[in-house]
Amino acid sequence: MQDRYAGDVGDFGKFSLLRTLSEAIDSRLGVVWYRFPDESHNGDGRHVDYINKPQYSACDKELVMHLSKVVYGERSVAHLEQLNILPNDTVYFSEILDFHLIYPTQTKTDKAERRIGRLRWLADAVKAVEKSKIIFVDPDNGLEVKSTPNIYQMKSGKCRLQP
């Protein structure tokens, strides 16, 4: 998840699902954002025209209202969290995965440091949401991608990988 995606149509789907689950199951939610620094090499994050489409408001008017504050205001994960879209006892983990910026080379040392940092990040994420009954994981690029099979790789922060 990158801040530049906050409030897009994907968030409408995620938050709609999580709100429905939390109401149906009445259990504490944990959200682990695999926050990756904003990139600028493409125009991703522009899928926000849903806000003006009546079928979305008909589905969940309150959610569209909340997300429009993000789209037309500050587009960030922090802003999504502050709006209390999910129940008040929801636990968020949003530490940024920027090890590729801190350790930017492909040297053995930097690879090892990225791996250590990623494992520490994962341990912190697990600890943050350990009392949650439902845990939602939101990677930037998906659960596992063939181009990034190891946690020490430069862009491994964009996806959920096994440690």
Q: Spell out the per-residue pLDDT of the chain, length 163, in tens.
A: 889 889 999 999 999 999 998 888 878 899 999 898 887 766 666 789 999 999 999 999 999 999 999 999 999 999 999 998 999 999 999 999 888 788 888 899 988 888 899 889 999 999 999 999 999 998 765 555 565 555 545 455 555 555 5
C-alpha 118: how far from chain center: 16
**Whole-prediction pTM:** 0.82
Sheet with 91-93, side-by-side order of all strands: 91-93, 29-33, 134-138
Residues 6+ apart with CB under 8 A from 95: 35, 121, 124, 125
Annotate 11-21 with b (16+ C-beta within 10 A) or e (fewer): bbebbbebbeb
Query: Cα(101)–Cα(42) distance, rounded to whole angstroms?
Result: 19
